């Protein structure tokens, strides 16, 4: 670490108190409320989080209410916020707190780290804001600000960089207002020291910023060897019958774990030119009741729609889909007399769901995009077109 240390903490804290945004979670020192806000704010913009946070706190005002809820209830309220694993970890953490401490939130950094799903950043934020513990809270905004302030030349995502920032903050952090200091760094990164087009003229730390002195703060933070986003095709089936749509539960691990999806698969192909949509149906739907019906509907060239693009952290889906409306088959009633729609759900985790329920379940954003773009589906079902 470079030896010169300028104590810019008073400038930052003073600036924060003057200009901080009036956000609902900043009106409380309650550790649970701060925890909820920090989880929601991960990889999500403040303006998006505010209404979700308010609804969530109204429904689950304390750790007992959240722990008592079912996973489905929590995911349902989280719908549209994305990154559903955050909601699941928050729910599991609440159950842990109720089970191990009778619902009393841990009151220091080390104890907070014992909660499943709570990492060093979240523990630091809660401990410093709720309990005024002198510990850093290092997120992406903080890394960017410190990289520019200190003209840090190493890859910002490396462990060496994290240790540097941690040790540096332990020197700078004021003992009397660590919560305001940590929130000030986050606020500075979110509103002034932004990834692109930083507003250096408004920065209270301009005189201390070595990146600014160098003439180009945009050089920092340094990021090397970032993993390339994998491009994949995601053919998808939308099966309809009697105002219902077929959904499946995703595996309990991996991308979008335990969430609902329209049946489909990932493909490492350049195009779907010779793709068999009927083969996709046979591999994704175990129940063989509707094979002939689906084959009949797919005999002519399928009406393939798309693409829509949805990007995850290291994967990008190029989504195409085909709508299969079983109500258009003339002998459907005979087939249904010989089988049961419930049979499907018992074999592969599938479920026929009322279309109106799609507004309430935890359907990932990628599939919400497909559903909202496939115009005319609801009208088509209701009119048996």
pLDDT value of residue 317 = 93
Positions of CATH 1.10.340.30 in the chain? 9-219
pLDDT value of residue 235 = 94
pLDDT value of residue 331 = 57
Query: Phi first, then psi: what are they for 115, rounded to 5°?
Result: -70, 125
pLDDT value of residue 224 = 81
Catalytic residues, by residue number, are 38
Task: Give the single-character DSSP code of 264.
Answer: B
pLDDT value of residue 164 = 96
Report the alpha-carbon distance of residue 136 to residue 134 in Å, rounded.
7
Enter the CATH code of domain 230-382.
3.90.79.10
- Contacts (Cβ under 8 Å, ≥6 apart) of 96: 115, 116
User: 175 vs 340, 343, 351, CA distance in Å?
Assistant: 67, 63, 55
User: Cβ distance 131 to 110 under 8 Å?
Assistant: no
**What is the pTM (predicted TM-score) of this model?**
0.78
Give the pairing type, strands 260-261 and 305-311: unpaired
Query: Phi first, then psi: what are they for 156, rounded to 5°?
Result: -65, -20
pLDDT value of residue 356 = 86
Report the alpha-carbon distance of residue 114 to residue 111 in Å, rounded.
5
pLDDT value of residue 203 = 96
Positions of CATH 3.90.79.10 in the chain? 230-382
Report the alpha-carbon distance of residue 162 to residue 121 in Å, rounded.
11
The alpha carbon torsion through 25, 27, 28, 32 (nearest 10 deg) reads -10
One digit per residue, the tens of pLDDT, for the chain of length 385 reads 444 566 899 999 999 999 999 999 999 999 999 999 999 999 899 999 999 999 999 999 999 999 999 999 999 999 888 888 999 999 999 999 999 999 999 999 999 999 999 999 999 999 999 999 999 999 999 999 999 999 999 999 999 999 999 999 999 999 999 999 999 999 999 999 999 999 999 999 999 999 998 888 888 999 886 667 889 999 999 999 888 899 988 887 788 888 889 999 999 888 888 899 989 998 888 877 778 888 888 877 788 998 999 988 788 999 999 998 888 765 555 554 444 444 344 345 678 889 888 888 888 889 988 998 875 554 444 444 4
Enter the CATH code of domain 9-219.
1.10.340.30
pLDDT value of residue 330 = 57
pLDDT value of residue 346 = 38
**First vs last Cα of the chain: how many Å apart?**
70
DSSP string, 131-144: H--------HHHHH
């Amino acid at each position: 670490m470079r030896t010169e240390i300028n104590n810019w903490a008073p400038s930052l804290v003073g600036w924060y108190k003057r200009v901080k945004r009036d956000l609902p979670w900043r009106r409380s020192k309650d550790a649970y409320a701060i925890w909820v806000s920090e989880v929601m704010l991960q990889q999500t913009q403040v303006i998006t989080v505010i209404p979700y946070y308010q609804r969530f706190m109204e429904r689950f005002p304390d750790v007992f209410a959240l722990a008592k809820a079912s996973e489905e209830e929590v995911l349902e309220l989280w719908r549209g916020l994305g990154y559903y694993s955050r909601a699941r970890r928050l729910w599991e953490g609440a159950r842990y707190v109720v089970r191990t401490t009778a619902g009393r939130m841990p009151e220091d950094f080390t104890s907070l780290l014992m909660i499943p799903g709570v990492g060093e950043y979240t523990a630091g934020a809660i401990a410093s804001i709720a309990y005024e513990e002198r510990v850093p809270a290092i997120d992406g905004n903080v890394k960017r600000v410190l990289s520019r302030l200190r003209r840090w030349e190493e890859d910002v995502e490396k462990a060496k960089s994290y240790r540097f920032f941690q040790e540096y903050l332990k020197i700078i952090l004021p003992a009397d207002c660590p919560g305001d200091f940590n929130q000030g760094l986050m606020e500075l990164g979110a509103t002034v020291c932004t990834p692109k087009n930083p507003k250096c003229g408004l920065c209270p730390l301009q005189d201390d910023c070595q990146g600014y002195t160098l003439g180009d703060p945009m050089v920092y933070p340094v990021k090397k060897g970032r993993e390339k986003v994998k491009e994949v095709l995601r053919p998808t089936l939308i099966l309809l019958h009697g105002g219902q749509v077929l959904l499946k539960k995703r595996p309990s691990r991996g991308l979008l774990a335990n969430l609902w999806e329209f049946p489909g698969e990932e493909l490492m192909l350049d195009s779907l030119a010779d793709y068999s949509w009927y083969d996709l149906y046979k591999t994704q739907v175990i129940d063989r009741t509707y094979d002939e019906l689906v084959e009949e509907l797919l005999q002519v060239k399928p009406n393939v729609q798309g693409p829509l693009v949805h990007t995850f952290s290291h994967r990008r889906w190029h989504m195409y889909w085909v709508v299969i409306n079983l109500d258009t088959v003339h002998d459907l009633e005979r087939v249904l007399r010989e089988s049961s729609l419930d049979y499907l759900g018992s074999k592969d985790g599938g479920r026929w769901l009322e279309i109106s329920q799609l507004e309430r379940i935890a359907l990932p954003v990628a599939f919400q995009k497909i559903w909202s773009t496939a115009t005319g589906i609801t009208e088509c079902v209701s009119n048996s077109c």
